[in-house]
Chains A and B, each alone.
Chain A
Amino acid sequence: MMHNITVKVCMGTGGVAAGGGEVLDAFLNEISSEGIAASIEKRCSPGKVGCRGLCAKDVLVDVIIGNSKVTYQHVKTDMVPRIVKEHILESNPVLEWAVGEDYHNFHDRQQKVVLSDCGNIDPEDINAYAAVNGYIAARKVVTSMTPEDVISTIKMSGLRGRGGAGFPTGTKWEIAGKQDAKTKYLICNADEGDPGAFMDRSVIEGNPHAVIEGMIIGAYAIGADKGYVYIRAEYPLAVERLKKALDDARTENFLGKEIMGTSFNFDILIKLGAGAFVCGEETALIASIEGQRGMPRAKPPFPVYQGLWGKPTVINNVETLANVPYIMRNGPEWFASFGTEKSKGTKVFAITGKIKNSGLIEVPMGIPLREIIYDIGGGIEGGRQFKAVQTGGPSGGCIPADLLDTPVDFESLAKVGSIVGSGGMVVLDETDCMVNIAKFFLEFTRAESCGKCVPCRIGTKRLLEILERITKGEGKPGDIALLEEMSVDIKMASLCGLGQTAPNPVLSTIKYFRHEYEAHINEKRCPAGVCKDLLTYSVLEEFCKGCGACLRACPAGAIKGEKKKPHIIDPSVCIKCGACLDVCKFKAVKKE
């Protein structure tokens, strides 16, 4: 029997950047070329799919013949002819190019709900989504369920917001549903601005129809007839795919007037973000859609009572909404079977930093950090020592090695001084300085504060100044106490979530890595060897062979010495670039 042949080329942002477009063209060309076309063309359909997580191995290509799938990694155009010839024509997979054990480990521990169709279907083809049961849930909801039924299903599933705060989605919808107003709005928050986060982008790029279907269901539940997707303008591919998906959904009458033959009207507009992190905060986002400067306002009133243009408005995160069709399709019990007592379901994380398999993952809530980092992530790069994992981006905190068994759920991470947040996870190793990490995040929040309120506008600046002082070796006794004092007050007195969480990176690094702060302040030493101003490079006489390599490498002319005699570094001239350390073959240069 002749099997159908499918070729799936990863064309998420990572895939496209690695040359996915060219690889797909190469497959199309190769297959349509003479000889090959005659024997298989009709049975073979190469196509693009969204992100499948392990971007480090892009371009990833699946070749599926009947039930057997082989995934190739690091595919380049010049590899395509051989794959087509040996695998597709002769059924002999090119195993030396196939993914290895770590690819399978990366996927085996994951539990995919939101991402289950990402990386499997062509995101630009509404029929591909329909083929995996897409829009069935929306049809069922609008044709045969009451809004109350939908809300109680979501409540039963235990779904909580994935945008950071973890507010129960069903409850939010219920309150909005009860508001007696002619006009209500549903907004999808796709402003994803945390440094290093790309969960929401991947979902929209990989399966935009799931987000749209979730919005249709949500809008029906709360009684909204207009929706917005507020999306980062810096995500052109996601915007393009979303636009196409909206057009296709309108053509199919999943959006627009009298959806699917019912009396329900709902349409969705795209609003490009204003390029500020704070515009992800819901009240600032509303101001931004209204054409004002994106500045948060005090709550209450909450947007579910008075939101966009003063009307009841539900704002949900991309991932929250993308969960909804799967919950409606498979039932709330199914969803609630993943996760913990209070944090149900799965969560998508973007793991980056000093980890082997950086990429996008989806895991059941409650999975221990250790499993994410060592089993899925493959452990630390270069065999170095794990130091901490930063979760929750600029609002989160650093979790040290002895808390690696902490389960990843809303409550447990809060207990150790961090948050789940939107799902950023940065792994740090022994070569990372924790004061410097805190400084990095404060640089971000200082620049992104909207400037409305005093504690955040001036407080983050002062925190940053103290951290800068410490990393320059100008820290003073009392600085740690001052940082702590200020942090507590900034958290309590700030208006919105940005200021209320901005000091978290400082507090959590002081809590778990106080000794690093003390070393910087008291001994003027950076234990991780990161803070330039605190480093000294010197030559260890006993190892130096006087080969002169360092002398030639030093761009500042700081090294002196005669041939075959120990060399000397003049600290007053040294610019601490580390070139000498890199070139010395005899480990005679010491950095401390």
Chain B
Amino acid sequence: MVTLKINGTEAVVAEGATVLEAARNAGIYIPSLCQHPKLTPFGGCRLCLVEIKGLPRPVTSCTTPVSEGMEVVTTSPTIERLRKTVLELILSDHPNDCMVCEQAGTCTLQELAYEYGIRENRFEGERRIYAKKDGNPFIERELEKCIMCGRCVKICDEVQGVEAIEFGYRGFDTKICTSFEDDLDCEFCGQCVSVCPTGALTGKLWSKQGRKMGVKEVDSTCPYCGTGCTITYHVKNNEIIRVTSNDDTPNEGLLCVKGRFAYKYVSSPDRLRTPLIKRDGLFFEAGWEEALGLIAERLQGIKAEHGPDAIAALSSARCTNEENYAFQKFIRAAVGTNNVDHCARL
């Protein structure tokens, strides 16, 4: 353990922690845009600058490891001035369209601009403008809004292991690119979208569906596979308009393309809403009582006539662990056969 002083108060943290982690641990707020707990430190946004006694210039707390006896000051007139300058510089190259931005209300940049009360900007100047060309069905990239925090690049590389995107070009022209600036063609896990602190990366399906107002958040479990990621449905007017996942879930906020983007089936008119029973080669809608009754009757009949091993059962990877457990228990104990398997074996 390491003992240090933050704003005059003693704090004890594990060795190897960063100053930013130590401060947050102690309940002290330090703003930042590029730091993310899942990712290695970047140090690009410069908002988490702090003063450390003995160092000639402010340093980024997200990249600086704590050391015994360190004395940290997280806010001072100089530090606040630098933070404001940095924010003004970012905003001088950012479209002022929070009014229509998907991210409004959940945008870290917007929140910081609000916190620092940035209305006038000393640094008006040229802004980046890009021709949009992504044909992919899932991810909207509005690179004018990108603040180059590098989170998307890092999560794609360090967490997803795909490396679909990288920094390209230099200086003011720096931009997050795919190889050869082709259309994005990756796993579409959307991890990058989930960590983007601005409206630069959003889901195409979310467009104009709703932001915060009138939206209910419902925690649930993703029905696509047995992993059972915890997800949050954003529901407006009884329609799912977006799926997200919180960092404090067993899946740590990570989802796959299906869990994150394939939620439209829920209200699809093609979706089955009742069991169907086939009679004379045609399906007819039935009630659950009737359908389950029919299954029970047929299972009992086959078992009586041919013995339990004439029955085999296959369950689904889309069921949860618990459901699969109950199912094999039922087949083994109630039906009386070990002929039970699971489609994931295929």
Contacts and interface: CB of A to CB of B under 8 A. Distances in A.
B167 A295 contact: yes
A457 B172 contact: yes
Interface stretch (B22-30, B119-127, B240-248): B119-127
Given A446-B172, A462-B89, A495 B44 contact: yes
A298 B174 contact: no
A504 B77 CA distance: 23
Given A298-B43, A457-B174, A493-B49, A452 B148 contact: yes
A327 to B, nearest CB: 29
A462 B121 CA distance: 12
Nearest to B43: A298
Given A454-B45, A455-B86, A492-B82, A461 B174 contact: no
Interface stretch (B52-60, B131-139, B299-307, B325-333): B52-60
B175 to A, nearest CB: 8
B86 A493 contact: yes
Given A462-B89, A495-B43, A489 B174 contact: no
Interface string B156-175: 00000000001101111110
Interface in B174-200: 174
B90 interface: yes
Contacts, number: 109
Contacts of B49: 493
A318 interface: no
Nearest to B84: A489
A495 B122 CA distance: 22
A436 interface: no
Interface string A350-361: 000000000000
Contacts of A500: 57
Contacts of A278: 170
Nearest to B175: A451
A79 interface: no
A454 B150 CA distance: 12
Contact of B148 (A301, A447, A451, A482): A451
A453 interface: yes
Nearest to B40: A297
Contacts of A454: 44-46, 86, 89-90, 147-148
Interface residues of B, number: 38
Given A297-B63, A461-B125, A462-B89, A494 B46 contact: yes
Contact of A459 (B41, B81, B89, B169): B89
A18 interface: no
B174 A450 contact: yes
Given A451-B169, A462-B123, A298 B92 contact: no
Interface in A241-280: 276, 278
Contacts of A492: 57-58, 78, 82
Interface string B57-82: 11110011100000000000010011
A82 to B, nearest CB: 52
Given A297-B43, A298-B43, A457 B171 contact: yes
Contacts of B92: 458, 462
A298 B89 CA distance: 21
Interface string A459-480: 1111001000000000000000
A298 B43 CA distance: 7
A63 B150 CA distance: 60
B324 interface: no
A277 to B, nearest CB: 9
B93 interface: yes
A41 interface: no
B188 to A, nearest CB: 24
Contacts of B173: 451
Interface string A362-397: 000000000000000000000000000000000000
Contacts of A509: none
B46 A451 contact: no
Contacts of B339: none
A188 B59 CA distance: 28
B316 interface: no
A307 to B, nearest CB: 16
Contacts of B46: 453-455, 493-495
A293 B167 contact: yes
Contact of A458 (B57, B63, B82, B89): B89
The 4 lowest CB-CB distance pairs between A and B, nearest first, are A451-B174, A298-B63, A298-B43, A461-B172
21 contacts: A297-B63, A446-B171, A447-B170, A449-B171, A451-B169, A452-B44, A454-B86, A455-B85, A458-B90, A458-B92, A460-B172, A461-B126, A461-B171, A462-B92, A465-B125, A482-B122, A486-B123, A489-B81, A492-B78, A495-B43, A500-B57
Interface of B: 41-46, 49, 57-60, 63-65, 78, 81-82, 85-86, 89-90, 92-93, 122-123, 125-126, 147-148, 150, 166-167, 169-174
Interface of A: 276, 278, 293, 295, 297-298, 300-301, 446-455, 457-462, 465, 482, 485-486, 489, 492-495, 500
Given A489-B85, A493-B86, 12 more contacts: A278-B170, A298-B43, A300-B64, A448-B171, A449-B172, A451-B171, A451-B174, A454-B46, A458-B90, A461-B171, A489-B82, A493-B46
